[in-house]
Amino acid sequence: MPTIRESFEIAGYDRDFDLVSPVQPGTPTSSKKTNLLDWRQITIDEQNRSIFLPTRMALDLGGVAKGWAAHQAMQRLGEIGPALMDAGGI
């Protein structure tokens, strides 16, 4: 879901893993208080081809874009013949 960026930042995904403090299983990863925003609060203006996000909401389309690109690549490769593709990270 592209509106979970705030949760990822709280968990430490906004910095290098070497900078994230290790935690014990079952221990909260952050004491930061947050009211996570709901994607249903996004307003779409189809006439002007615009979207409006609530204050503090940020979109992270990385996973969505990566999934779409992988799907497009497999469709095109499939026209040629059997193919395998790895869309994972490093």
Which residues are CB-neighbours of 61 under 8 A, at least 6 positions away? 2
pLDDT by residue (tens digit) across 42-71? 899 999 999 998 888 877 777 778 888 999
- Residues in a beta bridge with 52: 43
The span from the CA of 6 to the CA of 14, in Å, is 9
Positive/negative CA dihedral, 39, 53, 28, 24: positive
Helix (H), strand (E) at residue 51: strand 50-52
Q: What is the pLDDT of residue 44?
A: 93
Indicate yes or no: pTM above 0.85.
Answer: no
Q: What is the pLDDT of residue 46?
A: 95
Scan for tokens 């403090």, then name that residue.
21
